[in-house]
Structure 1
Amino acid sequence: MTKVMQGIRVLEVAQFTFVPAAGAILADWGADVIKIEHPVRGDTQRGFLNMGGVTLDPQRQTLFEHPNRGKRSVGVDITTPEGQEVLYELAKTADVFLTNYLPHQRQNFKFDVEHIKAVNPNIIYARGSAFGHKGPEAGVGGFDGTAFWSRSGVAISMTPEELPGPLGQGIPAFGDSIGGMFIAGGISAALLHRERTGESPVMDVSLLSSAIWASGAVIAQVAETGVLTRNQMPGTGGAARNPFQGNYTTSDGGTINMCTLSPTAHIKSLFEHIGVPEAAEDPRFSDARALFENAGAASDIMVKAFASKPFEYWRQHLKTYTGQWAPIQSFQDLLTDEQALANDMIIEVEAADGSDRPLKLVRGPVQFDSAPVETTRSPIASEHTEIVLMELGMEWDKIEEYKAKGAIA
């Protein structure tokens, strides 16, 4: 893949997934991403070895690999004066400073905007936060489960009214990964602005703003009409007005999602594909207006047809249908999805355990020149400290001095 960020250095002082995910995207694009980790503990997320009841191997920690592949790790204790000296030396060589530490931490440990800009006025300072960098909760921390899922209205909108309470977020780092892509995009724009004008802006993205943007269409609708639409309880059959929109259960319990929003040109094709071509000639269904007025009757026909054959049959048979549809898949199904694989959406990297069994990760959503991503595993904590500091021209005696004081590892 074309390394569009080749020659760009990113200094990342961040933990967990939200902001590090942006670093992973930039590393995929060719940037040299230097991840600062505590010399003893490393990134706190390295210790998350049980997620949703699934025990993770610390040498194959996929939750950490996802937002940290392709980086170099430098162990620095940023709470010490010596560690801050090292951080400043690194910042002098960087194009981007990337952080999700809280404002009081950035001030206490002297790596807030004014401190980093003092040593490198041309650096892009990029902040990720839970609720935004202004207002009464600017200093409040959070995770995607709080800021992206719960606070934003997403949890309520995704939950059918019939359920006794809101659904929980079933996908770890869901909002983090989405928001990380927004940060990477914002950094790209900021770098372009710096190249054109010489100005290096401070950039902010929050989990809350990420969720609000992702939900923007319905939020605008609510603001305009005052009506909040929520997810419906699962079932089989078409929508009340459009039977070509809905989930249909197959004979073996699979589900086909029909999503033909404008059925006019697809009525004949659909009824032929489900084995009832005569329905296309029925005046109740022969054009979109009639179809909508008789949605229930059409849905009943479709329910019966889909229930007559198994999931895999429909998955193959509907490939020639002219409208829009999709098989409802699990993440496990996705790992062998021919379209996902053809577009290099699943990548492999060597694992830290030295085995010949690679880790399967997901590439970022942007691809350049149709080429797959080439990346490496996430670094072991402090794996590249000496190499990176020597690249700065730091003498070995100085490195040993910092080590002796516990400022680096």
Structure 2
Amino acid sequence: MSRVMKGVKVLEVAQFTYVPAAGAVLADWGADVIKIEHPVRGDTQRGFVNLGGMQVNPKRSPFVEHPNRGKRSVGVDVSKPEGVKIIYELAKSADVFLTNYLPNQRQKLKIDLEHIRAANPNIIYARGSAYGDKGPERDVGGFDSTAFWNRSGIAHALSPPELGGPLGQSIPAFGDSIGGMFIAGGISAALFHREKTGEAMEIDVSLLSTAWWAAGTSIDMALDSGRVGSASMPSSGSAPGNPFLGNFTTADGGTINLCTLTPGPHIRSLFEHLGAPQYADDPRFSTAKSLMENWQAASSIIVELFAQQPFHYWREHLKSFTGQWAPVQSLLDMGQDEQALANDMLFEVEAGDGGEPIKLVRNPVQFNHEPVANTRAPEASEHTEIVLMEMGLAWEEIEALKELGAIA
């Protein structure tokens, strides 16, 4: 595969998924990512043994593999002066310093911009936070369920009023993974800028800004109009005004989504695929104008036709429909989606428990049509001695640091 970040060294002092996910993307692209972990506990996320109500094997944990594949782990206690000195030494040869520690923690530990730049004036300093590095809440921590999902307005926008409350975030690390990709993109731009101008940049990405960008069109519309749209309860039928736009229930309870925004050119194709070509010649539906005017009657017919066959039938039969549509699939279904697999959206790494390889989702950027090839996430502190010897420390010095508890 094309390793576009080969030769770039990233020093990551971060935990959980947000920000480490950026390191994972850069590792996918070929960067040497040195993950600093506590020499005893490791990344706090290594202790998570429950994912969505399911028990997780720590040796093949998605919580660890997804944001940490391809990295090297070095166990350093950054609360000890000897540990911070190691961070400075590693920073000297690094291109990027990557962190999600809060401002007061960074200052207390002396890993803020001032101290890291004293070790390496040319390092790119990338921060990820819940709410941004400016303003009265810059020292407030958060997770994607707080900053990305709830505070951003996304949970409110996706929750029908009839529910009586907002939907909970059912996908762990949803905003974390998106935000990590944004940080990786920002780092790429900063590396390019430094190559062109010699200037090393600071980078800030928050979970709140990630959500606002993801929902940007709706937020812009709301601010311009002073109104917000509301989500509707699930039902089989079309959106008002366009019968080719909506969710339709199949005979076995599955759902097919039609999203044909300009139905005119696709009227005949849809009714033929639904087994009722006569409706394409019906004056009520034969033109885009008449179809829009009679959308309720068309919607009722389409609902009835979809209900005559099971989900799998429509999943295959509609492949030649000329308009836009999608099967409503589960996350598990995606593991068998031929289009996703054809585009290398999954890759495998060896499992720490010695069992079957672990399937991981690749980052969304693909170079030269090539799949991702990467290694598993490291065990906590797995590469401490190797990295420190590369840095020039003698074995006796490493042993002395271990005795002090500064490293693993």
Return the TM-score normalized by structure 2: 0.99
User: Secondary structure of 1:290's partner?
Assistant: helix
Which aligned segments of 4 or more residues in structure 1 are displaced greater than 3 angstroms? Answer: none
User: Secondary structure of 1:148's partner?
Assistant: helix
In structure 2, what is the Cα distance between the partners aligned to 1:113 and 1:308? Answer: 63
Partner of 1:385: 384
Partner of 2:397: 398
Equivalent positions of 1:40-189 (< 5 A) are 40-189=40-189
Alpha-carbon deviations, 1:206-260, whole Å to 9, x = none? 0000000000000010011112112210010111110100001111111000000
Give the Å deviation of 1:52. 2.2
Report the number of matched residues: 408
In structure 2, what is the Cα distance between the partners aligned to 1:69 and 1:52? Answer: 21
Once structures 1 and 2 are overlaid, which stretch shifts more, 19-28 or 283-292? 283-292
| 1:261 is the counterpart of 2:253 | no
Partner of 1:373: 372
Partner of 2:270: 270
In structure 1, what is the Cα distance between the partners aligned to 2:196 and 2:168? Answer: 45
In structure 2, what is the Cα distance between the partners aligned to 1:290 and 1:73? Answer: 64
Partner of 1:333: 333
Partner of 2:343: 343
5+ unaligned residues in a row in structure 1: which ranges? none
User: Secondary structure of 2:364's partner?
Assistant: coil
Equivalent positions of 1:142-291 (< 5 A) are 142-291=142-291
Give the Å deviation of 1:159. 0.2
Give the Å deviation of 1:394. 1.2
Please tell me the residue identity of whatever aligns with 1:44. Answer: T
In structure 2, what is the Cα distance between the partners aligned to 1:408 and 1:109? Answer: 16
Give the Å deviation of 1:283. 1.1
Give the Å deviation of 1:287. 1.1
In structure 2, what is the Cα distance between the partners aligned to 1:20 and 1:245? Answer: 39
In structure 1, what is the Cα distance between the partners aligned to 2:45 and 2:282? Answer: 60
Give the Å deviation of 1:406. 0.4
Alpha-carbon deviations, 1:24-50, whole Å to 9, x = none? 000000000000000000000000101
In structure 2, what is the Cα distance between the partners aligned to 1:226 and 1:282? Answer: 41
In structure 2, what is the Cα distance between the partners aligned to 1:247 and 1:340? Answer: 22
Give the Å deviation of 1:347. 1.1
Please tell me the residue identity of whatever aligns with 2:366. Answer: Q
Give the Å deviation of 1:397. 1.1
Give the Å deviation of 1:289. 1.3
User: Secondary structure of 1:18's partner?
Assistant: coil
User: Secondary structure of 2:257's partner?
Assistant: strand
5+ unaligned residues in a row in structure 2: which ranges? none
Give the Å deviation of 1:68. 0.4
User: Secondary structure of 1:87's partner?
Assistant: helix
Partner of 2:33: 33
In structure 2, what is the Cα distance between the partners aligned to 1:116 and 1:23? Answer: 18
Return the TM-score normalized by structure 1: 0.99
Please tell me the residue identity of whatever aligns with 1:407. Answer: A
Partner of 1:353: 353
Give the Å deviation of 1:392. 1.0
Once structures 1 and 2 are overlaid, which stretch shifts more, 143-152 or 227-236? 227-236
In structure 1, what is the Cα distance between the partners aligned to 2:231 and 2:342? Answer: 32
Once structures 1 and 2 are overlaid, which stretch shifts more, 117-126 or 47-56? 47-56
In structure 2, what is the Cα distance between the partners aligned to 1:31 and 1:246? Answer: 43
Give the Å deviation of 1:62. 1.0
In structure 1, what is the Cα distance between the partners aligned to 2:193 and 2:118? Answer: 20
In structure 2, what is the Cα distance between the partners aligned to 1:230 and 1:327? Answer: 23
Give the Å deviation of 1:199. 0.1
In structure 2, what is the Cα distance between the partners aligned to 1:294 and 1:286? Answer: 11
Please tell me the residue identity of whatever aligns with 1:92. Answer: K
In structure 2, what is the Cα distance between the partners aligned to 1:386 and 1:210? Answer: 37
Alpha-carbon deviations, 1:131-187, whole Å to 9, x = none? 000000000000000000000000000000111100000000000000000000000
In structure 1, what is the Cα distance between the partners aligned to 2:34 and 2:127? Answer: 16
Please tell me the residue identity of whatever aligns with 2:390. Answer: E
Alpha-carbon deviations, 1:273-323, whole Å to 9, x = none? 101111111111111111111111001110111000111111111000000
In structure 2, what is the Cα distance between the partners aligned to 1:47 and 1:326? Answer: 38
User: Secondary structure of 1:117's partner?
Assistant: helix
In structure 1, what is the Cα distance between the partners aligned to 2:105 and 2:224? Answer: 40
In structure 2, what is the Cα distance between the partners aligned to 1:4 and 1:291? Answer: 50
